[in-house]
């Protein structure tokens, strides 16, 4: 989980690179933590802000995609 490690270590530039390449802020590690959770534990406010913005953007992208209704 590269984004998890990056968030924990506070590597802001690397996190931006990974997010730009499509890394999901919703992915969970074996302890069920997301990269946002990891950033929160480290207390890096800049990283938390970056990941929260990415979370909003990724959620918006998901909601904008037409989804098929499985109950026809």
**Structural domain range at position 26:** 2-64
In a domain, 44, yes or no: yes
Confidence check: pLDDT of 70 > 70: no
* Total domains, the chain: 1
Structure tokens at 11: 């590597």
In a domain, 72, yes or no: no
Please give the model's pTM, rounded to 2 decimal places.
0.83
Cα-only R_g, the chain: 14
pLDDT digits (tens, 9 = 90+) for 48-67: 999 999 999 999 888 876 75
Q: Nearest-5° angle of CA 34, CA 16, CA 67?
A: 60
**How far apart are alpha carbons 71 and 22 in whole angstroms?**
30
**How far apart are alpha carbons 7 and 27 in whole angstroms?**
13
In a domain, 71, yes or no: no
pLDDT digits (tens, 9 = 90+) for 10-43: 999 999 999 999 999 999 999 999 999 999 998 9
In a domain, 70, yes or no: no
Q: What is the per-residue pLDDT for 8?
A: 94
Could you tell me the CATH number of the domain that includes residue 47?
1.25.40.20
In a domain, 53, yes or no: yes
């Amino acid at each position: 989980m590269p984004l998890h490690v990056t968030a924990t270590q506070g590597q802001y530039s690397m996190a931006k690179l990974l997010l730009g390449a499509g890394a999901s802020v919703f992915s969970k590690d074996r302890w069920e933590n997301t990269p946002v959770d990891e950033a929160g534990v480290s207390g890096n406010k800049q990283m938390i802000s970056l990941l929260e913005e990415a979370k909003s953007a990724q959620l918006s992208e998901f909601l904008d995609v037409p989804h098929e209704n499985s109950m026809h």
